């Protein structure tokens, strides 16, 4: 691999990880909020919301 291609590949990898971590952090906040509500306000609806949040981010 040429040095220039290696630098571009490394930069692309760093950018990919940065974007993925941002998406995961946002998903984690949403999932944690849904789970907290379900644990503190135990109803069928809150349990369904928490389950949906868990399944959509796994």
Distance of CA 57 to the CA centre of its chain: 6
Alpha-carbon separation of residue 48 from 16, 25, 53 (angstroms): 32, 22, 9
Structure-block tokens of residue 14: 């760093």
In this prediction, residue 20 carries a pLDDT of 94
> pLDDT, tens digit, for every residue of 15-54?
999 999 999 998 899 899 999 999 999 999 989 988 888 8
In this prediction, residue 5 carries a pLDDT of 64
6 pLDDT more than 70: no
In this prediction, residue 3 carries a pLDDT of 65
């Amino acid at each position: 691999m040429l040095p220039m291609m290696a630098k571009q590949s490394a930069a692309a990898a760093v950018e990919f990880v940065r974007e993925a971590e941002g998406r995961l952090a946002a998903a984690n906040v949403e999932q944690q909020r849904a789970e907290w509500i379900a644990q503190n306000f135990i109803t069928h609806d809150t349990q369904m919301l928490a389950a949906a949040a868990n399944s959509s981010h796994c």
